[in-house]
Amino acid sequence: MLPEPDPARCRDLADDLRSAGYTAEALRSGWGDAADDAIARGLRAPADRALGGRADAVAVLGRLFMLGMPQPAASVTLALPRTGVDGLVRLGLAEVDGDDVRPLAVVRPQSYADASADGGSSWWIASDLDEAALGGPLPEDHVLGVGGASLTLAALQLPTPARRGLDIGAGCGIQALRARRSVDHVVATDISERALAFTRLNALLNGVDGIEVRLGSLFEPVTGERFDRVVSNPPFVITPRVADVPAYEYRDGGMEGDDVVAAFVRGVGGHLEPGGVAQLLGNWETRAGVPGLERVRGWVEESAVPLDAWVVERESLDPLSYAELWVRDGGTLPGTPGFSRLIDAWLDDFTAREVTEVGFGYLLLRRPAEGEPTLRRFEPLHQSLPGDGLGVHLAEALAAHDRLTALDDEGLAASALVVSPDVTEARHHIPGQEDPTVIELRQGGGFGRALGVDPGLAALVGACDGDLPVGVLIDAIAELLEADAAALRADLLPRVRELTFTGFLRFA
């Protein structure tokens, strides 16, 4: 357990880190792109080798807080003149070992890009030392730092303003910090006192107020309360319920299979205000022949409070690949004692429950502001994402959905649309032939979708410049193609709805 973070010492440390120029960009410049990428794979030596004999503040702090390497106390004092060695010790971030300072935590500079108005944030995020610094498997109360999944969830968060927010399974506090940028007050919960101490520390270190921490599992700490925004990177990793398999607090919710995600989906509706949105990451099993996304659909339908749902499956793994991923994540590598035993435990668990595949993805759940749910979308999107702006894209998609729901086909035909600026068209021809064999629309933002379209839809999209209503354009295209106008409307309008929801088209 970390000591209660002292606000004055956190301010001193923040001032020191700022004065030292301790940023992600400075570190990457100091040890190079290849070494920076190696750190993410648990390899410290390339970065240390690249720093060589450098003794400036960025190099000292990089070795201490990023590589987990002890540093001379005199060098740390020079790098952190306000905080000093004593301040680090009192914050629980380091200990004194003779003439050296030994780190007890990672303090990672994290740049967060955002497509919303102010463009992003730069934070320092403290968390527990990783297995490379520890030299072995992680302790079960390990508090995870910022990884790819947590950055993705931060990017997915809606940027629209809200009054009250809830972060379930706060960990080091990265989601609460991100939520606080658009939410007035955030309650951050976790089953780990240590995780909540890191959340408090990181809020103070980054000068962010309005984050309240509470101890407890899932919705227990907020019984009877409702929120406008809920976010969670829950401990969703499927772990065998076997005595000698480590149950890491940061990833294992203590339930069988994917039950922790199911419990969240079934229970979150009662904690959402009308119009409130919950966003989370999760795993789901394909079990006994029932596809994972269909099981998620069942959880949504079992919610006592009816919910809109948009679930995206980003990838799926077979049981062996899934087991290997998470055994390695805990610091047990092939060839080390216990690796085969842990793999067998995972495979035995999956076999006993007839699991043939595990999906991973994102869930957006919304309590309708009024009436019944109108959005039920469960889709696999197994491709890389184009970059930032996902939160903005989701907010725009929800707004488009609500507007489309209020329009019948006649109303849609009377609407003027424009092509989104990130959309491009590709045409593929067989050599010597005038007409294309494939016409493809590609999206540069959002989920980076690509879809084949026929000449009629391609012509309609190309003509959407906001001047004429969709119905007028379809009638003109029907005349050009010598097609029946009514039949073409019936064919194109449902696809126009889809293109507008997914962001290829926008209302003018």
H or E stretch covering 355: strand 355-366
Q: What share of the chain is helix, strand, coil (3-state, %, to 5)?
A: 40, 25, 35
Question: Which one-letter amino acid corresponds to residue 115?
Answer: A
Number of residues that make up the chain: 508
Backbone CA torsion sign across 183, 185, 189, 193: positive
For residue 54, what are its two tokens? 């450098």
- Say what the pLDDT of residue 238 is: 87
Helix (H) / strand (E) element for 440: namely strand 438-443
For the beta carbon of residue 308, count every other beta carbon within 10 angstroms.
20
- Say what the pTM is: 0.92
CB 493 within 8 A of CB 409: yes
Report the pLDDT value the prediction gives residue 127, as an integer from 0 to 100. Answer: 95
Instruction: Please report where in the chains the tokens 């730069």 appear, as a residue.
Output: 122
The pLDDT, as a whole number, for residue 148 is: 84
Residue 4: phi and psi, rounded to 5, are -60, 125
SS3 state of residue 215:
strand
For residue 26, what pLDDT is reported?
95
List the domains of the chain with CATH numbers: 7-109 (no CATH), 141-379 (3.40.50.150), 407-507 (3.90.930)
- Return the H-helix or E-strand segment holding 54: none
| Cα 420 to the center of its chain, rounded Å | 24
Dist CA 466 CA 469 (whole Å): 8
Q: Give the separation between CA 425 and CA 420, rounded to whole angstroms.
A: 12
C-alpha distances in Å from residue 493, one per residue of 2, 149, 339:
58, 36, 55
Looking at the DSSP assignment, which residues form a beta bridge with residue 364?
Answer: 279, 310
Cβ atoms within 10 Å of 404's Cβ, excluding its own: 18
Question: Do 243 and 140 contact (CB within 8 A), yes or no?
Answer: no
| pLDDT attached to residue 117 | 47
CB 122 within 8 A of CB 112: yes
C-alpha distances out from residue 453 to 181, 228, 425, 427, 442, Å: 39, 38, 10, 10, 11
Cβ(309)–Cβ(300) under 8 Å? yes
pLDDT, tens digit only, all 508 positions of the chain: 788 999 999 999 999 999 999 999 999 999 999 999 998 888 899 999 999 999 999 999 999 999 999 999 999 999 999 999 999 999 999 999 999 999 999 999 987 666 554 555 689 999 999 877 887 777 878 898 888 888 899 999 999 999 999 999 999 999 999 999 999 999 999 999 999 999 999 999 999 999 999 999 999 999 999 999 999 998 888 888 888 887 777 777 777 789 999 999 999 999 999 999 999 999 999 999 999 999 999 999 999 999 999 999 999 999 999 999 988 877 788 888 889 999 999 999 999 999 999 999 999 999 999 999 999 999 999 988 776 789 999 999 999 999 999 999 999 999 999 999 999 999 988 888 878 889 999 999 999 999 999 999 999 999 999 999 999 999 999 999 999 999 999 999 999 999 999 999 999 9
Q: How far is CA 415 from CA 111, 233, 395, 419, 470, in A?
A: 40, 39, 21, 13, 6
